[in-house]
Structure 1
Amino acid sequence: MEKFDFHGMTLTWLNGGDTFMDGGAMFGVVPKPLWSRKYPVNDKNQIELRCDPILIQKDGRNILVESGAGTGKLNDKQLRNYGVTDQSKLEDSLAELNLTPEDIDVILMTHMHFDHAGGLTKKVGDSFVSAFPNAEIHVSRTEWDEMRQPNIRSRNTYWKENWEPIQDQVIPFEETFDLDEAISLIHTGGHSNGHSVMKIKAGGETILHMADLMPTHAHQNPLWVLAYDDYPMTSVFAKEELLQEGLEGGYYFSFYHDGFYRIVKWTADGKEIVESVKRKELKL
């Protein structure tokens, strides 16, 4: 597992599962000759997309960012369509850190699509139960409301088994949620109506977790948004503003889906990576 020490807190990337999704869908209207220069693609036109939560250990608390894709929730057709090669192994990852799911205090959710929220619950017998029974779960109210009452487009990714068992743990926020003076969730919309990003500030530096506004380092261009985005122009404007802020401020950018980088810092013009944490185990 890769780690990043940041001014008294430690970020560790856990094993939340691996998928290989259609590259064209992940880069929207961008032609393949352009995006394939920046991110490898296999002979099925699929790109590797991790689903790895970040464990933040800070001031004696264990804070989970996202929850992975889950285990045993996809049927054979879904496993094939999403190119799943590895299902979530969060309990194994936590055990390597001498932790259990009961040790997680807080879960911060950028949004509740199945590949982010699937790990919130697990199957015990014939029922689904909370995978992290002692954690308070924070997500934007817009996202939480839509998950429970999805529209014709979003109902394919918001599943009852991912929210019904944990609804008593959820604490929705309006536009911004500040966990403490260092960690915040900020509602952006775009990828989903309730999508949020996360900022971590400490020691005069900032980590910006863009979630699915910028799922990999190759999505840096503000115009390169996903075909899966419900509100693509909102994604473009939000990414443009945040990217400018981050590059000018010398922020670190962290990723949930990137198969190659966990975290990067670019030059102010965004053309060169000056610091990074690379994923150790590569499949492409």
Structure 2
Amino acid sequence: METMKIGNTTLTWLDGGVTHMDGGAMFGVVPKPLWSKKYPINEKNQIELRTDPILIQKDGKNVIVDAGIGSGKLTEKQKRNYGVTQESNVKTSLAALGLTVEDIHVIAMTHLHFDHACGLTEYEGDKLVPVFPNAVIYASSVEWYEMRHPNIRSKNTYWKENWEAVAAQVKTFENTCTITEGVTLHHTGGHSDGHCVLVCEDAGETAVHMADLMPTHAHRNPLWVLAYDDYPMTSIPQKQKWQAYAAEKDAWFIFYHDAEYRALKWDGDERITESLKRKKQ
């Protein structure tokens, strides 16, 4: 597991599983000869996307950002369609840190698509139960509504299996939510109507998690938005806004999906100046 410090706050990436999604869909209208130079692609035209929750530890609180793809939740057809080669090992990751799922105080959900929310519940026999029984789950009110009332498009990613068992744990917010001092969720829309970014600030240092507005380092260009984005013309100005904020703060960008980088910084010429790479097994 990779770990970094933001001031006195510790960030650790847990093992939440891995998917392989269509590269064309992940880069939208961007021509393949351009995006394929920036991110590896396999023979099926898929790119590797981690689904690794970020454990934030500060002032005695254990906060997890998003929940991974879970374990034992997906059918064989879904695993094939989503290119799943490994399911979640979050419990094992936590055990290596001397923690259990009962020790998690908060789950901060950037949004509730299946690859972020499947890890919220698990099967106990034939019944779905919460994975993190003592955690408060924060999500934007817009996202929580759509999760429970999906439309003809979003029903493919908002599943009742991922919310019914945890409904009593969910707390919603409109614009901004303080998870704990220095850790905040901000509603952006774009990728989904209720999508959020997360900001972590401590002792003059900052990390910005843009979630699926910028799922990998190869999506830095504000115009490189996903075909999966419900509101791409919202994604673009929100990417510009939060990239400008990060530049002003000399902030780290941290990632849930990136298969190469956990975190990095860019300079004004888009050169990587500092980075934390994922240790590949």
**Scaled by the length of structure 2, what TM-score is found?**
0.98
Match of 1:274? Answer: 273
Do 1:108 and 1:138's aligned partners in 2 also have CA atoms closer than 8 Å?
Answer: yes
The 5-angstrom pairing of residues 27-66 of structure 1 reads 27-66=27-66
**What is the alpha-carbon distance in structure 1 between the residues aligned to residue 63 and residue 92 of structure 2?**
17
- Alignment partner of 1:167: what SS? helix
Structure 2 residue 170 is matched with structure 1 residue 193: no
**What is the alpha-carbon distance in structure 1 between the residues aligned to residue 93 and residue 181 of structure 2?**
28
The 5-angstrom pairing of residues 123-272 of structure 1 reads 123-269=123-269, 271-272=270-271
Match of 1:115? Answer: 115
Do 2:9 and 2:202's aligned partners in 1 also have CA atoms closer than 8 Å?
Answer: no
Match of 2:10? Answer: 10
The residue type equivalent to 2:168 in the other structure is D
CA distances 1:42-74 after superposition (whole Å, capped 9, x unpaired)? 111110000000001111111100000111111
Do 1:197 and 1:209's aligned partners in 2 also have CA atoms closer than 8 Å?
Answer: yes
**What is the alpha-carbon distance in structure 2 between the residues aligned to residue 139 and residue 256 of structure 1?**
17
Cα displacement (A) at 1:247: 2.1
Cα displacement (A) at 1:174: 0.7
Do 1:250 and 1:268's aligned partners in 2 also have CA atoms closer than 8 Å?
Answer: no
**What is the alpha-carbon distance in structure 1 between the residues aligned to residue 61 and residue 88 of structure 2?**
22
Cα displacement (A) at 1:245: 2.1
The residue type equivalent to 2:11 in the other structure is L
Gaps of 5+ in 2: none
**What is the alpha-carbon distance in structure 2 between the residues aligned to residue 138 and residue 248 of structure 1?**
27
**What is the alpha-carbon distance in structure 2 between the residues aligned to residue 41 and residue 179 of structure 1?**
36
- Alignment partner of 1:116: what SS? helix
Cα displacement (A) at 1:226: 0.4
Cα displacement (A) at 1:134: 0.3
**What is the alpha-carbon distance in structure 2 between the residues aligned to residue 42 and residue 221 of structure 1?**
22
Cα displacement (A) at 1:89: 0.7
The residue type equivalent to 2:276 in the other structure is V
- Alignment partner of 1:189: what SS? coil
CA distances 1:235-268 after superposition (whole Å, capped 9, x unpaired)? 1111011112212331110001000000001113
- Alignment partner of 2:161: what SS? helix
**Scaled by the length of structure 1, what TM-score is found?**
0.97
- Alignment partner of 1:87: what SS? coil
**What is the alpha-carbon distance in structure 2 between the residues aligned to residue 124 and residue 142 of structure 1?**
30
Cα displacement (A) at 1:204: 1.4
Do 2:6 and 2:200's aligned partners in 1 also have CA atoms closer than 8 Å?
Answer: no
Do 2:8 and 2:203's aligned partners in 1 also have CA atoms closer than 8 Å?
Answer: no
Cα displacement (A) at 1:5: 1.6
Do 1:54 and 1:64's aligned partners in 2 also have CA atoms closer than 8 Å?
Answer: yes
The residue type equivalent to 1:280 in the other structure is K
Do 1:248 and 1:268's aligned partners in 2 also have CA atoms closer than 8 Å?
Answer: no
CA distances 1:16-58 after superposition (whole Å, capped 9, x unpaired)? 0001111000000000000011001011111000000000111
**What is the alpha-carbon distance in structure 2 between the residues aligned to residue 182 and residue 122 of structure 1?**
31
After superposing on structure 2, the runs of 4+ consecutive aligned residues of structure 1 that deviate more than 3 Å are none
Sequence identity percentage = 62
Provide the alpha-carbon RMSD of the alignment: 0.9
**What is the alpha-carbon distance in structure 1 between the residues aligned to residue 257 and residue 279 of structure 2?**
14
The residue type equivalent to 2:82 in the other structure is Y
**What is the alpha-carbon distance in structure 1 between the residues aligned to residue 170 and residue 97 of structure 2?**
26
Do 2:207 and 2:253's aligned partners in 1 also have CA atoms closer than 8 Å?
Answer: yes
Gaps of 5+ in 1: none
